[in-house]
Structure 1
Amino acid sequence: MSAVMITRKVRKWEKLPGKNTFCCDGRVMMARQKGVFYLTLFLIIGTCSLFFAFECPYLAVHLSPAIPVFAALLFLFVMAMLLRTSFSDPGVLPRALPEEATFIEMEIEAANGNVPAGQRPPPRIRNVQINNQIVKLKYCYTCKIFRPPRASHCSICDNCVDRFDHHCPWVGNCVGKRNYRYFYLFTLSLSLLTIYIFTFDIVHVVMREYPVSHLCSQKEQTGFTVLEVLVCFFTLWSVVGLTGFHTYLISLNQTTNEDIKGSWSGKNRVQNPYSHKNIIKNCCEVLCGPTYPSVLDRRGLMQDDSLVSATCAAPSSSSSSNATPQTTKTTAPLIPNEHTPDDAKPSIAASAEKSPSPKEELPPALKLPPLASPETDAETSIAKDKTH
């Protein structure tokens, strides 16, 4: 048995650390815990399916045909924003390479000095100035980097996320710098869709109670409507409340993580350096700013070296007799150092004297013959007489 090193090219997403799952050759990136995300899909698709199947035909005939059309457009927009939030990179920061981590550790040790045994080392932070205000950058012991401003490490996905807002199990992903606007548009459009369905469900029930024309019986048509009203009623409070909370955060240019920790409203009363002191400017920066590219390069190629065990067949006798035996000789260093034993130093010096350098080696034509024995002297003299 022998091990063979095989080098093959793989996508970078196959070797990325963290607790994320990838689909479609790295194009889709989500968290591993996706059970609540499937529940979100079931509630949205199920409620809208009941609305299109039982309420829309009646309302389109007796009220307006634009009701199902607007509901379909709103439903498609909600699904697009949900999938865009769930399947995208929220702004995961790559971890430091081993060489970079070693360099950062050396810098930290040089800055902090030697810490006596039994004492806690000082916190690993760096200070940067943003809008004439000092902001502390914290060191991540998992990713081996100093996190950028407003970044935080998600314990569920096990990654540092730039402008980390929170981890949302309802969308099955973190909410960060690259997908926050889509998350907000998802909550806003879902609130409008929930209010829309809830309103026309009530209208449908009222119109059934006071019918204009006798088309269908009341029991067959209002059973699923009552179920939709109950689902929308309990969903309305949480979704609309979440949308209002994030509208408040956007107006102040804050994140959920900063609001929970009280970063800009604690005892020190430190002002938010990222706020423009203007609601319109803050909303434009968060919702209309540039779309930042991903720094992971998930679909890029990299070389992967892996060991594969292989069985080597024993050589035959004929081939072994013709093959030149290979010997491995271990030579000691020519220059003895302080770690060399005393009894080994003379042999090292002797080996240095016996082995000439490549520069002093004579060419084959000028090499001296080996010392001759008496038998070889006689043979050489007889050969010379024959030639003469």
Structure 2
Amino acid sequence: MSTVMVAKKARRKWENLPGKNTFCCDGRVMMARQKGVFYLTLFLIVGTCALFFVFECPYLAVNLSPAIPAVGAVLFLFVVAMLFRTSFSDPGVLPRALPEEATFIEMEIEAANGNVPPGQRPPPRIRNVQINNQIVKLKYCYTCKIFRPPRASHCSICDNCVDRFDHHCPWVGNCVGKRNYRYFYLFTLSLSLLTIFIFAFDIVHMVMRSVDSGFVVVCFFTLWSVVGLTGFHTYLISLNQTTNEDIKGSWSGKNRVQNPYSHRNLIKNCCEVLCGPVHPSVLDRRGLTLEGLSGSANPTAAIKHVSKNKNPEVQPMKTKAEHSPEEHAPGFTKHDITPSTAGITSLEKSPASSEKEVESPTPKDLPPQSPSDNTNSNQDKENTY
């Protein structure tokens, strides 16, 4: 009789995650699917610094100070490190609801809203929570089937809900959210310092040699854009706001609603955004999931396959001792047979003794015995049992 065994294969959770993200290095690197602008950003940074180190630094190191190339190299490495940290990390993606959770939430919403007459628009799916004595609305995401936490929003490019969503930045090839915003700000700040450093010493080089260079014009426009971006995000950090909230006017405008997340203090707001703890990822993208696979009709091969995978869920096969004739012998019950290994081994080693016990004559065939003989026979039976 052939048996069918079911084995389970372990896979990483990032392989089954929804959304439009790209994963590399076995789920350690998480980026958006559109990464072309990120490569352009990396090329511009590396190319500009390469021109500076090749054409400017040799003259400046000899005539001014050899510390100029060293400081430029440190700034360059820090900029690249912050760029990779922002681009390759989880920005704070929220997991989608499971089918059972989505069904339960839909039932709760229908019970709260009641039956909507046909032709009428159902009321918006909103929940109210209180934060710092102020009511904040939690909106329902029809894609992720969850009520988004405060300050979270759904990114249409990555197709994920991101906690404390700031914006989707194509220059870094990723969303900017709760888990990588500080690294994004440090990237823009260090890039501004690097641009100022290159621009300043390029002018010094021109003055010392009294030549004109078009490289200064390129550095000027780069400096203007990067410093402006850094100043804008410094303003947002001082108010504890996000770019999404500033564009939508969530805490300004006609309603005059105050920002419930602001501490009304510049230093406290900056410390919360830049110096607070880094929240762990809730995706567990490198965790393991088990997927069922149809097994072989050969039980020996299936057991070998499962033993290699060390699967503890396989049921042990019955041995011959469990089907021995003693299980159905008169005077025995299921509780009389112990499943110990020693008992099974002794039964397998002495089959003759078990046959003698089964084939022993009944009391009807024996001649009448005296009371003393009966006592001895009872003791022998107890010893046998």
Scaled by the length of structure 1, the TM-score of the pair is 0.73
Instruction: Give the 5 Å matches for 1:317-332.
Output: none
Aligned to 1:252: 239
Instruction: Give the 5 Å matches for 1:292-303.
Output: 292-303=279-290
Q: Which among 253, 274, 294 is matched to residue 266 of structure 1?
A: 253
User: Whole-Å Cα distance in 1 between the matches of residues 253 and 147 of structure 2?
Assistant: 23
The alpha carbon displacement at 1:288 in A equals 0.4
The alpha carbon displacement at 1:228 in A equals 3.0
Cα pair 1:30 1:87 within 8 Å, conserved: yes
Aligned to 2:274: 287
The alpha carbon displacement at 1:231 in A equals 2.3
Aligned to 1:82: 83
User: Whole-Å Cα distance in 2 between the matches of residues 230 and 304 of structure 1?
Assistant: 59
User: Whole-Å Cα distance in 1 between the matches of residues 181 and 100 of structure 2?
Assistant: 33
Instruction: Give the 5 Å matches for 1:1-388.
Output: 7-209=8-210, 226-305=213-292
Amino acid at match of 1:289: G
User: Whole-Å Cα distance in 2 between the matches of residues 228 and 7 of structure 1?
Assistant: 61
Which range moves more in the overlay, 168-177 or 196-205?
196-205
* SS of alignment partner, residue 298 of structure 1: coil
Residue 240 to residue 143, structure 1, CA distance change in 2 (3 Å): same
The alpha carbon displacement at 1:300 in A equals 0.2
Residue 294 to residue 108, structure 1, CA distance change in 2 (3 Å): same
What does the per-residue CA deviation read over 1:84-135, in whole Å, with 9 as the maximum and x for residues that have no partner? 0000000000000001000100100010000000100000000000000000
What does the per-residue CA deviation read over 1:185-244, in whole Å, with 9 as the maximum and x for residues that have no partner? 0000000100110111111111111xxxxxxxx7xxx7xxx3532321221111111100
What does the per-residue CA deviation read over 1:134-164, in whole Å, with 9 as the maximum and x for residues that have no partner? 0000000000000000000000000000000
The alpha carbon displacement at 1:305 in A equals 4.0
Cα pair 1:50 1:228 within 8 Å, conserved: no
Across the aligned residues of Structure 1 and Structure 2, the Cα RMSD in angstroms comes to 2.1
The alpha carbon displacement at 1:39 in A equals 0.4
The alpha carbon displacement at 1:11 in A equals 0.1
User: Whole-Å Cα distance in 2 between the matches of residues 268 and 173 of structure 1?
Assistant: 32
* SS of alignment partner, residue 296 of structure 1: coil
The alpha carbon displacement at 1:304 in A equals 2.6
Percent of residue pairs identical: 86
The alpha carbon displacement at 1:6 in A equals 6.8
Tell me the number of residue pairs that the alignment of Structure 1 and Structure 2 aligns.
296
Cα pair 1:253 1:282 within 8 Å, conserved: yes
Scaled by the length of structure 2, the TM-score of the pair is 0.74
Please identify runs of 4+ aligned residues in structure 1 that moved more than 3 A: 4-7, 305-308
The alpha carbon displacement at 1:266 in A equals 2.1
Residue 5 to residue 36, structure 1, CA distance change in 2 (3 Å): farther
User: Whole-Å Cα distance in 2 between the matches of residues 306 and 70 of structure 1?
Assistant: 57
Gaps of 5+ in 1: 210-217, 311-388
* SS of alignment partner, residue 47 of structure 1: helix
* SS of alignment partner, residue 289 of structure 2: strand
User: Whole-Å Cα distance in 2 between the matches of residues 143 and 263 of structure 1?
Assistant: 23
User: Whole-Å Cα distance in 1 between the matches of residues 240 and 154 of structure 2?
Assistant: 20
Cα pair 1:40 1:171 within 8 Å, conserved: yes
Aligned to 2:335: none
Amino acid at match of 1:178: R
